[in-house]
Structure 1
Amino acid sequence: MTKKILIGIPPKNHVNLALDEVKGLIDLGNNCQTIIYTRNKPFAGKINKLLGVLINAFALVNKLHSFKPEILYLNSRFERVGTSRDFITVLLIRLLYWKKLDIAIKTHGSDLRILTKKSFFFNSVLIPYLTKQVALWFFLSQEEKNNIAKLAPKFAEKIYVTGNIIDPKRSIKSKEFIEHHGLQNKCFKFFFAGRMVAEKGIFTILRAIPDFKYKKECIFIFAGNGEEFEVFKDEIKTLQLEEYVHLTDFLPDEECDHFYANVDALVFPTYFDEGFPMALFKSVACGLPVITTKTRAAIDYLKEPENCIWVNGKDPESVTKALNTIYENKKLRETMAENNLFLGQNFTRSKITEQMHLDFIKATTFN
């Protein structure tokens, strides 16, 4: 049973991820079209943010009238700002588009405090309304679904757990790539990719390096930028780590993805409210040894020592210990690489979108 689906995709971050889902759903026979659905600029004022949401919502309504899909599928986040945007958007759609339409939302990370803080608007208006109007919510970990089931059982009934599509073929081993980034004379390469904020564990990595026994034989590559990037650079100077750290700043996915095939291990001690962190699972699919934390989707799929070494994302000493273990134990690295390559086969385009397609049918057939 195929569907006619309008898919809201981001304009900048993780575009390939969204388009992979579109292609996978089309391969299954669905008729899909896309429209931009995005969060506002983080530093915009409240009025400008609201205006952006309204403009986006009216564009969606116009597209619905011209395309007339059976399902509207939006990529979003389950937290105060993202869910408020979803509420306004869905409300306007229901007011201005009267044809039968099932709505699905995929949340790329969540802040479940939205369900625990006392707020009349969220507790009595927003969450109940979306629970009624949205046919299914894709979350990226079983932990999120379990926690929501305790806090909002009705809402949890709409939740389906899925993964993200990972294509390791986008990561190509290349001497030229390493030379382009000036890393050809560096030995063992530890890699981090993501937004440069403390919750991603970036400062924990820096503070772990001074006590790392083999730092002179290694380089730590950080790909990304973010709100604390300048503070991060200052911390590198304060700790006198310039010779051990390589910064790329922001890179588009098309370039950043090649690092996964050209480094030796991922170090990702995040304590952010991750959903399905792409840096982590791209590393898995490319067969990298992994140092990370017990967060959400990581718990669903990874085991120690088969796939990773668990660390405390706020404890530099635990990261130092893991760095030493990974560097010293070649056999462990080889076992992790083999296991992670095998695990990565769970995130192919066909496997992820086939399950999503079945979930669409299950959630909308009797809706």
Structure 2
Amino acid sequence: MNFKILIGIPPKNHVNLAMDEVDGLKNLGNNCETIIYTRNNSSLSVLNKLIGVISNAFELAKHLRQFQPDFLYLNSRFEPVGSTRDFITLIILKCFVRNSFKIGIKSHGSNFDIFKKKSIFYRKLVLPFLIKNVDIWWFLSQDEKLTIEKFNKVMFDKTFVTPNIIDRKRSLLSPLFLEKYNLPTDKFTFLFVGRMVKEKGVFNIIKSIPFFDKRDNCIFVFVGDGNEFNEIKLLAQQVNVEKYIRFLGYLPEAECDQFYANTDALVFPSHDEGFAMALFKSVACGMPIITTQIRAAKDYLKEPDNCLWVDGKSSISIGQALSKLYDNQEMRQTMQKNNKILGQIFSREIIMKEMENKIREVIQ
């Protein structure tokens, strides 16, 4: 038996990931439709954000009445803002949609301080309602699941861990790409992809370069933007490492993906991640990796088989790892081989079959 599934997807970020899941469920024989479901523009006022959430919820209710799915699958985040949006949305759906369906939420980020909030709104309304009415919670790491067990056993029993889909065919070695971005073939290229904010460890990458004695043989490519982008560029000037760095700013996902096959190693010392797409796209492309031992990273990666662990808040730790990785070609080759093998487990077929099995369990 196959199912009718309505899937809430983002309009901009990680659209490929969402559509990979849609295609995976369709390939298993399910009838799937999509609808935009996302966070509001952070620059909006609280009132305008609320109006946006309510408007989107009524659009979702309309689609549910027309399509009448067996299962509603929403991509969201488990933290105060995301959970408030989910709460308001599901309240409206319960009031205005009469057809029966099960609900699953996949969390692409979490902040478990929501369990500690003293506000009656969260303790008595938001969390109890969501825990009661959501049939499946998918999180991206075992660490998140174990944290949930400490706070709420009912939610823990509904919680499952799933990785994201990674399609390494989206990143191909290309001389034309190297030429387009003026990436030298006679230097070792370290790559960072992500938001330009302190939490991603970007500042400490910049600060680590003076501790890296082989820096003249390397370049550092930074892809992404963020609120602290200008501050990071200023730091590069202050520590006199501008000549080693290429700041490329925001690039569309399809363009960004090409860097994984056209650079030599990933440096990703983030302080807090669920399942970092930049990290696991690098794994699938067989890149050597420097990263921090957090959440999904520690679920799948081992040192030195797949990566070198660093303290993302220590520039000295990152600088030492840069030297160790650069100086050890045999280690890099081992990482490349192991990571290509590991990357195979993030295929669309494997992941979506596991997720469909959970959907089947709650519907039947």
For the superposition of Structure 1 and Structure 2, which TM-score range results when normalised by the shorter chain?
Answer: over 0.9
Q: Which amino acid aligns with 1:244?
A: Y
After TM superposition, list the pairs within 5 Å mapping 1:26-65 onto structure 2: 26-65=26-65
**Is 1:294 aligned to residue 293 of structure 2?**
yes
- Greater Cα offset, 177-186 or 130-139: 177-186
**SS of equivalent residue, structure 2 residue 52:** helix
Contact residue 102 and residue 362 of structure 2 kept, 8 A:
no
* Distance in 1 separating the partners of 2:191 and 2:43: 29
* Distance in 1 separating the partners of 2:66 and 2:170: 35
Q: Which amino acid aligns with 2:68?
A: K
TM-score w.r.t. length of structure 2:
0.99
Q: What's the C-alpha RMSD, in Å, of the aligned pairs?
A: 0.9
Unaligned runs of 5+ in 2: none
Unaligned runs of 5+ in 1: none
**SS of equivalent residue, structure 1 residue 341:** helix
Structure 1 residue 119, shift from structure 2 partner: 2.2
Q: Which amino acid aligns with 2:3?
A: K
Q: Which amino acid aligns with 2:201?
A: G
**Is 1:16 aligned to residue 16 of structure 2?**
yes
Deviations 1:100-156 (A, max 9, x none): 111111000101111123222112211110011111011000110001101111111
Structure 1 residue 186, shift from structure 2 partner: 5.3
Cross-structure match for 1:195 = 195
Cross-structure match for 2:326 = 327
* Distance in 2 separating the partners of 1:126 and 1:269: 33
Cross-structure match for 1:6 = 6
Contact residue 8 and residue 37 of structure 1 kept, 8 A:
yes
Contact residue 211 and residue 320 of structure 2 kept, 8 A:
no
* Distance in 2 separating the partners of 1:286 and 1:162: 20
Cross-structure match for 2:340 = 341
Q: Which amino acid aligns with 1:340?
A: N
Structure 1 residue 184, shift from structure 2 partner: 2.8
The number of residue pairs the alignment matches comes to: 364
* Distance in 2 separating the partners of 1:318 and 1:239: 17
Contact residue 186 and residue 219 of structure 1 kept, 8 A:
no
Cross-structure match for 1:305 = 304
Cross-structure match for 2:218 = 218
Q: Which amino acid aligns with 2:318?
A: V
Structure 1 residue 359, shift from structure 2 partner: 1.0
- Percent identity over the alignment is 52
Contact residue 76 and residue 82 of structure 2 kept, 8 A:
yes
**SS of equivalent residue, structure 1 residue 49:** helix
Contact residue 135 and residue 364 of structure 1 kept, 8 A:
no
* Distance in 2 separating the partners of 1:3 and 1:201: 43
Cross-structure match for 1:318 = 317
TM-score w.r.t. length of structure 1:
0.98
Contact residue 268 and residue 291 of structure 1 kept, 8 A:
yes
* Distance in 1 separating the partners of 2:173 and 2:328: 23
Cross-structure match for 1:99 = 99
Structure 1 residue 34, shift from structure 2 partner: 0.3
Structure 1 residue 25, shift from structure 2 partner: 0.2
Structure 1 residue 55, shift from structure 2 partner: 1.1
* Distance in 2 separating the partners of 1:186 and 1:299: 33
**SS of equivalent residue, structure 2 residue 258:** helix
Cross-structure match for 1:67 = 67
